[in-house]
Chains A and B, each alone.
Chain A
Amino acid sequence: MSATGLLRKLSDEQKSILAAKSVKLNRPADELLALLKPIAAFDVAAAPARKQAGCSLAALIVLSVVVAIYGVNQEGNLRFVSLGLAGALLVGAIISGTTWRKLQAADVSDNLSKIVIPFLTILREDVAPAEPVALDIDLTAGDAKKKLTQTINPKTKGYPKLVTTVYLDPWFEGSAVFADGTQLKWKVVDRLRVTKKTKKNPRGKIKMKTKTKVRSDVRVTMAFPTKHYAPKHNAVPGEKRHEVKLAKRTKGAAETPQGFPMLIDLIADGYRKVNAQKGAAR
């Protein structure tokens, strides 16, 4: 289905999440997936559609101007027909422009489809069906103005010019209780470093290059019920829950966010820190 078709099929709640681009939820994983998956599906379909609408907008404007100029220089019927055609092309451009703006306004971070949805799909396996999972997600762009923390601008005169901006994006946190009684809390904070390099070549032509690097910090806290799990290290006698804190940091390109494998690896590492409790109820 087309992106605009998918957009039209969204519920009012889904549309309001798309508009706000951030949401706090506390529901069973099945319900969260039913709510968020259509938004992610729309976002994935909208990426090429947005590009297409942008291209046709530009092409139609250029074409209508060319036809209009041609028409003005003609006489009689030919003039009438070409000006009419220019008008029609302009209407087409307006329609493409509206579509483009609509899709642009509804753009959410790829983190939804690349991290939140797969992570919830795995979590759903370990959380009892009726148990809620708490989510707090910010899907606005990582380089949104409100996330800007630092502008490093070492050289303001002359070329090459190097401007680095740093953004802090604490975009994902949540908690859940697994069916085995283990409590889980997680938090993902991305740090974007955007480097803009402006060069001037010997002929005086100015060229700009932008590079974005993402550093993801993932923190996971797990509390294992000692009824089922025996800590391998640092056990406190008599504790009902054994808390384990884990953290991981990864640097990478913006196109391949590492949040999903990092979350899974950290939780798996947490489970590696405990043994099955002797005599635990099965």
Chain B
Amino acid sequence: MNECMSKQGFFSLRPCGEPAATNCATCSRPVCSRHLSPTSGFTQCLDCTARGVEGDALRQPGSNPGVDDDREWAYGYRRGYYASHSYAPFNYGDDDSYYDDYDMRSFDRDLGTSNAGITGTDADGKPDWTDS
């Protein structure tokens, strides 16, 4: 089974990695059910939907709590925010030409130790936020 290729996160981006449910009808990337857009009838990924609604992607949040699909709103807001605030998110995944219009700050792949996931465990196996 393919893994979802949607990028999760707002301030830094990481691969979703959930098992894909289907392929996006627009970009044909494999995506999981959480990253499919309800307004598209679950045929399009949230990123493609965000591209389509760019105009009102920055609409006032919280206008319809519990009614709007909030993850769909978040992906539209994210896209609008990066553009309007010139924000360059850190990228913890592979480069993906789909996100070429995001000005992502990537990590140096060759120098990295390969297996330390970003959810972060140190060598002693503790989550890395307990070590301070």
Contact = CB atoms under 8 A, between A and B. Distances in A.
A275 interface: yes
Contact of A280 (B62, B66, B71, B108): B108
Interface in B61-93: 61-62, 64-67, 70-71, 73-74, 77-78, 81, 85, 87, 89-90, 92-93
A31 interface: no
B12 interface: yes
B116 A281 contact: yes
A115 B108 contact: no
Interface residues of B, number: 44
B106 A276 contact: yes
Nearest to A267: B11
A182 B73 CA distance: 24
Given A113-B62, A180-B12, 13 more contacts: A33-B70, A40-B62, A44-B64, A115-B62, A117-B61, A117-B70, A126-B11, A128-B119, A225-B129, A271-B11, A271-B12, A276-B105, A281-B116
Interface of A: 33, 37-38, 40-41, 44, 113-115, 117-118, 121-122, 124-126, 128, 177-183, 223, 225, 227-229, 240-241, 260, 264-265, 267-268, 271-272, 275-282
Interface of B: 8-12, 14, 60-62, 64-67, 70-71, 73-74, 77-78, 81, 85, 87, 89-90, 92-93, 105-109, 111-116, 118-120, 128-129, 131-132
